[in-house]
Amino acid sequence: MAIAMLALLIGGRHYALAAAVLPQHDPHAATANKPTHAKRPADSDDDSDDQTDGSDEDDPDADAATVPATEAQPKNYTVGPGSVQSLMAWKAPKLPDITQYTEAAAMQQLHRGPAGHVHVGSMMEQLSFKNFMGRDERMREWARRQSSMPQVIFVDGYVTPRDLSRTLPKQYFAETEPGVFVARLPIDILPGATLHIDKDVKDFRLSIDRGAFIVNEGDLFINHSRLEGWNEAKNTPAFFEDEKDFRPYITSWGGSRTYMIGSVVAHLGYAASKAYGISISQYSPSMAPIMKRKAPTGWLLNSEFLDNWYGFYCYEAEDVVIRGNTYHDNIKYGIDPHDRSRRLIIAQNTVYGTRIKHGIIVSREVNESWIIENTSFNNGLSGIVADRSSMHNVIALNKSYRNKSDGITIYESPNTLIWSNLVTANNRHGIRVRNSIDVQLRDNVAVGNALSGIYGHIENLSDTGRNLKLDPFHPIISMIVVGGKLVSNGSGPITIDQPLSLEVYNVDLREPRRELGIHFTGVLGAHQERVLDIMVRQKLPVVVKPEAISVNTASD
């Protein structure tokens, strides 16, 4: 009975929640100096649960009704006309002004003082390395590569690669040819310090042979340069071979700022916590209360990222801007903001050739963010994804095509606006929505996708290996679909099964692949004549509601 009452309450609040689908404030107000107050799960001290259970992957069987109607789910629906006025009262969101995020604005944040100094010390002397000393025995790996107790280059003040090469022995850091530098130890940019890799640096190489990587606790600036993992034994870049094999990486911890502008960052990262490639991350739940640092942030502008385990990753970061970059041929994900990151701008990027999973994904309570004007194509799964209770996000003005799964996928992420996107020639659906309520789809164009133009469904994720305490799900769905064009999609224009509610209005249905003309499946298919009468002849919204609302909820 309590579960049924919850569902009724959710259904009763449908319209109020839909009005709140947008970020409720300017996502880039001046809040970067505020500490993060997001609630963390008590049982998670690293990111070992980050999308490893398969529930963010494409499941061909989910294209059928994977949660059959039972006594606990609606069976019968009413179909009738709705209110044009209420649907058209919606106002388009004001997009953030991304023109302010420029190279000139970023370089104004660079502080060239005080004069820097460096020293080599034990990795054990700095708490910032504690997060790398877990059950995967990375300390032993670094000791083996350095042939000693692990040591680190500590950077304080303002320092350039040339400063490092003048100060340190060649066994630790060297300029091997004009403008080409090799780091042979990990580098720690201390709080308040700056490492500046500028256009005078042709190539900044992190030696895979010696276990080099960068920890940023202060400011890292890379502008008009190149940074890459490097295999000194082979004298080649540290190309990806196996996810378990160490490769250099960059991790920017709490309190840090990371600026990458007009540069190439490549051949970094492997499958170890916070060692994914380019990571902007708050400390783990056990370390954050000790370190007491504000949320990390950064701008990544007009750069190229390739052959990294993750092209980008963040964890409890705030106000990060990822604009105008090219992410290609990265391994697992292209752009992957994660746990409780917020107020992000992901705009005007081109993401393609991600080998294993998605081009762009925000996952696990990544809220109040903008994914706008990106192009994502030829990725291993979907082009753009919102996942695991990521809410109040706007996905707008993107192009997503020729992906091996969907163009845009929404998994367990209510209160999402999908607006004015083009999704075409994807191997599965144009837009897929799973287990999410109050999702608005407005003015989207879905053309020539292999299955449905828009597909909404519920699915039981209990058997996927998902951590249901960390990532609960509710098998309910509701959508509003207004405007746009659904053209020549293989399984039909719109399919939805067992919705809590569905409203469809003013959608242009053209060139069905089927010889018999427009053909709906799911709930709409069961009432096709009535649906087409309301949509085509009466030119009114179609409202689909269950006669009785009662759903199961899975959360443990």
> Among residues 250, 245, 307, 321, which one has the least CA distance to residue 281?
250
Tokens of 302: 């007009």
Is residue 392 part of the annotated active site? The answer reads no
> Among residues 172, 143, 147, 174, which one has the least CA distance to residue 161?
174
Helix (H) or strand (E) holding 206: strand 203-207
Sign for the pseudo-dihedral over CA of 64, 333, 100, 344: positive
Q: Are strands 542-546 and 399-401 parallel, antiparallel or unpaired?
A: unpaired
3-class DSSP string for 366-398? CECCEEECCEEECCCCCCEEEECCCCCEEEECC
Sign for the pseudo-dihedral over CA of 232, 234, 235, 236: negative
| Alpha carbon separation from 499 to 55, 523, 550 (Å, rounded) | 20, 8, 11
> Among residues 95, 154, 156, 167, which one has the least CA distance to residue 121?
154
Helix (H) or strand (E) holding 347: strand 345-347
Helices (H), 59-178: 84-88, 103-107, 138-146, 161-167
Residue position matching structure tokens 């006309």: 81
- Bridge partners, 197 (sequence order): 222
DSSP 479-523: EEEES-EEES-TTEEEEE-S-SEEEEES-EEE--SSTT----EHH
DSSP 290-321: HH--PPPEEEEES-EEES-SEEEEEES-BS-E
Cα torsion for 141, 194, 101, 336, to the nearest 10°? Answer: 10
- The active-site residue, picked from 338, 358, 474, 527, is 338
- Bridge partners, 216 (sequence order): 189, 252
3-class DSSP string for 449-486? CCCEEEEEECCCCCCCCCCCCCCCECCCCEEEEECCEE
Q: How many angstroms separate the CA atoms of 446 and 421, rounded? A: 8
Q: Which residues contact 321 (CB under 8 A, 6 or more apart)?
A: 28, 98, 101, 298, 299, 300, 301, 344, 345, 347
AA letter at 348: Q
Q: How many angstroms separate the CA atoms of 194 and 268, rounded? A: 21
Q: Are strands 408-411 and 431-434 parallel, antiparallel or unpaired?
A: parallel
Whether residue 197 contacts residue 219, with contact meaning beta carbons closer than 8 Å, is answered with no
Whether residue 421 contacts residue 408, with contact meaning beta carbons closer than 8 Å, is answered with yes
Catalytic positions, written as ranges: 338
